[in-house]
Structure 1
């Protein structure tokens, strides 16, 4: 009888543990079908992709954190179960509130919002030190950020207004704009 009770307790514990997983896990990006919920551009499987899942289970993907912010302004945040950004260095999904951000208007991002995401402050500080540009922010500071697109960069991007081409090496100074008036 004691063995049966022990087995029942262990099974109950395992069932409870299985239910403790994150209800709103980040979903993989599928470039062939994923379209940004705001700008309708292709969502690349890169460091700029972001996503959120509403409490009712609907998932929205974005090609740039600026597009995700625009969605939040249009739809509110009360119904968001979880929102994710990707680490700039290794593309690991990070909860939006736990990430550290770097902003500079000269940083090239898909929709020219100039914000990069990092999983920790040290990585963000390293990027700023290496590039010589950038303001480090947390999620609370990002909430009061002035979300303007760099219109000069948008013109540089061409007619489709999308910056994904050739962005694999975005952190290199050769990919940064020379115009310091936007810093």
Structure 2
């Protein structure tokens, strides 16, 4: 019985440890997987989660996009970006609307922000100028 209990404990630990889902970004303490810069900006950070549950954090959306050039997208379960309107809130990157505006700097200088709601992106663009993109258009822009 003791061996069964130990085996059950090990199986549960493995199952819980390999869960596929977003993980909170430890702002100010964790570094960007792509450029190693400490992640502090809650409006521009991004995250990838693999099918196996491994999490990659990025200080800027452009770092995530550059990382994806060399990544097999089929191994990625979740593509996440911070919602510019709700700092620190990760949203589905494939459904987000992107704004490149020279009036809104991002950590790596691409002036790239993401919005969970297209309407919020449009309103921000009307105030700040710039150009809107979809996920597909962003992938083309970053050439992958």
Structure 1 residue 25 displacement after superposition: 2.4
Give the equivalent residue in structure 2 for 1:39: 35
2:95 is the counterpart of 1:98: yes
How do 1:147-162 and structure 2 match up within 5 A?
none
Q: Which structure 1 residue ranges, 5 or more long, are not aligned?
A: 1-22, 148-183
How do 1:113-152 and structure 2 match up within 5 A?
113-131=110-128, 133-146=129-142
Residue 52 of structure 1 aligns to a residue whose secondary structure is: strand
1:30·1:45 contact (CA, 8 Å) conserved in 2?
A: no
- For normalisation by structure 2, the TM-score amounts to 0.79
Residue 66 of structure 2 aligns to a residue whose secondary structure is: helix
Structure 1 residue 50 displacement after superposition: 0.4
Using the TM superposition, name which of 138-147 and 37-46 deviates more: 138-147
Residue 114 of structure 2 aligns to a residue whose secondary structure is: strand
Give the equivalent residue in structure 1 for 2:66: 70
Greater percentage in strand: 2
CA–CA distance in structure 2, aligned partners of residues 30 and 49 of structure 1: 11
Residue 26 of structure 1 aligns to a residue whose secondary structure is: coil
2:18 is the counterpart of 1:25: no
RMSD of the TM alignment (CA)?
Answer: 1.7
Q: Which structure 2 residue ranges, 5 or more long, are not aligned?
A: 1-18
Runs of 4+ in 1 over 4 A off after TM superposition: none
Structure 1 residue 57 displacement after superposition: 1.2
Structure 1 residue 39 displacement after superposition: 0.5
Which structure is larger by alpha-carbon Rg, 1 or 2? 1
Give the equivalent residue in structure 1 for 2:108: 111
- For normalisation by structure 1, the TM-score amounts to 0.63
Structure 1 residue 76 displacement after superposition: 2.6
Structure 1 residue 32 displacement after superposition: 4.4
2:44 is the counterpart of 1:48: yes
* Cα distance per residue 1:44-76 (max 9 Å; x no partner): 251111001111111000000110011111223
- Larger relative contact order (Cα-Cα within 8 Å, sequence gap ≥ 6): 2
